[in-house]
């Protein structure tokens, strides 16, 4: 039961990170284009989004490994 609760909590965290990251990344790209920001800022936003996606992937990986019993 404990693993199931932990998996649910980490799954919700991963889903929330993915959803919020996607919305913020899209908004950042749109606002940056409207304001004419330097492309270096777009790369910074891309790298921040990539870091959040890697974090979410690591969470999902942990859930999967815990479920496989190894």
Decide: 29 and 41 in contact? Cβ < 8 Å: no
CA-to-CA separations, 10 to 28, 30, 51, 63, in angstroms, rounded: 26, 30, 17, 7
Give this prediction's pTM.
Answer: 0.86
> Element (H or E) spanning 48, and its range?
helix 39-68
Interval 26-43: pLDDT, tens: 999 999 999 999 999 999
Question: With 0-12 CB in 10 A as exposed, 13-18 as middle and 19+ as buried, what is 59?
Answer: buried
With 70 as the cut, is the pLDDT of residue 70 above it? no
């Amino acid at each position: 039961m404990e693993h199931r609760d932990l998996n649910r909590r980490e799954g919700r965290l991963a889903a929330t990170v993915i959803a919020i990251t996607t919305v913020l990344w899209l908004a950042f790209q749109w606002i940056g284009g409207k304001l004419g920001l330097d492309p270096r800022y777009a790369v910074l936003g891309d790298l921040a989004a990539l870091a959040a996606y890697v974090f979410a992937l690591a969470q999902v990986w942990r859930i999967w490994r815990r479920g496989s019993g190894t």
